[in-house]
């Protein structure tokens, strides 16, 4: 594995191999739930493992829930980055067939609403973002999230509620900035 060349220390290399073998399918599923594309999900997992390899000295026990949460978070962030890049690319693509049918002058108006929403989501405090993404991106039930994070279902509901409030407030502020810019 190329990842091992990025890691110093034999114990960190062994730990990385354990992490890779144990969590790669979970990480793939997290990415696939959002991207719905096998190849893009594999890219997200690859990017996540590169980040993991760079941070091996600070990663704890491979069996700990904290490590599992860290790997899921790193995967979600890589997935969001790929999702954003794909959307930007799709906005800029003009197909030859469409170009032939166009008449007159080509104009282009770009909106960054999707990017601003993703940035806002990515900048949520971790405890809200993780619960929010597990609920809405991964489609997990509150009970499953509570078990995974070792918190009560009430805490899950509260974090979802507070995360929504933070998102709504941030998006209202962004909406005001966008309206003022025109």
Q: How confident is the model at residue 89 (pLDDT cuts 50, 70, 90)?
A: low
Domain(s) labelled CATH 1.10.10.10 in the chain stretch across 110-182
96 pLDDT more than 50: no
Q: How confident is the model at residue 76 (pLDDT cuts 50, 70, 90)?
A: very high
Write down the pLDDT at residue 124.
81
Supply angle C-alpha 169, 171, 175, rounded to 5. Answer: 120
- Span 102-144, pLDDT tens digits: 454 444 444 555 666 677 777 788 888 888 777 877 677 888 8
Contacts of residue 162, defined as CB under 8 A and 6 or more positions apart, other chains included, come to: 128
- Span 2-14, pLDDT tens digits: 777 888 888 899 9
167 pLDDT more than 90: no
Q: What is the CATH number of domain 110-182?
A: 1.10.10.10
User: Measured in Å, how far apart are the chain's first and last C-alpha atoms?
Assistant: 51
Contacts of residue 147, defined as CB under 8 A and 6 or more positions apart, other chains included, come to: none
Q: What is the DSSP string of 18-31?
A: HHHHHHHHHHHHHH
- Residue that wins the pLDDT comparison between 98 and 175: 175
| Residue 83: both structure tokens together | 């999702």
- Residue that wins the pLDDT comparison between 75 and 5: 75
Give how far Cα 157 sits from Cα of 54, 108, 146, 152, 165, Å: 34, 42, 9, 9, 12
pTM: 0.54
Out of 20-24, 76-80, 101-105, pick the least confident: 101-105
Contact 64, 150 (CB under 8 A): no
Q: Which CATH class for the 7-93 domain?
A: mainly alpha
């Amino acid at each position: 594995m190329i990842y091992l060349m990025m890691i110093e220390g034999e114990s960190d290399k062994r730990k990385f191999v354990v992490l890779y073998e144990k969590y790669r399918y979970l990480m793939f599923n997290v990415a696939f739930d959002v991207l719905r594309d096998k190849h893009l999900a594999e890219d997200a997992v690859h990017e996540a493992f590169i980040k993991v390899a760079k941070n091996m000295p600070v990663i704890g026990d491979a069996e700990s829930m904290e490590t599992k949460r860290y790997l899921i978070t790193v995967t979600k962030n890589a997935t969001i980055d790929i999702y954003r890049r794909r959307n930007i690319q799709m906005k800029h693509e003009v197909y030859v067939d469409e170009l032939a049918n166009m008449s007159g002058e080509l104009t282009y108006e770009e909106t960054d609403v999707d990017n601003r929403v993703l940035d806002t989501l990515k900048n949520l405090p971790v405890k809200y973002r993780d619960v929010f993404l597990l609920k809405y991106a991964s489609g997990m039930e509150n009970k499953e999230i509570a078990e995974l994070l070792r918190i009560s279902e009430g805490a899950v509901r509260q974090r979802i509620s507070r995360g929504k409030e933070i998102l709504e407030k941030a998006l209202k502020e962004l909406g005001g900035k966008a309206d003022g810019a025109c």
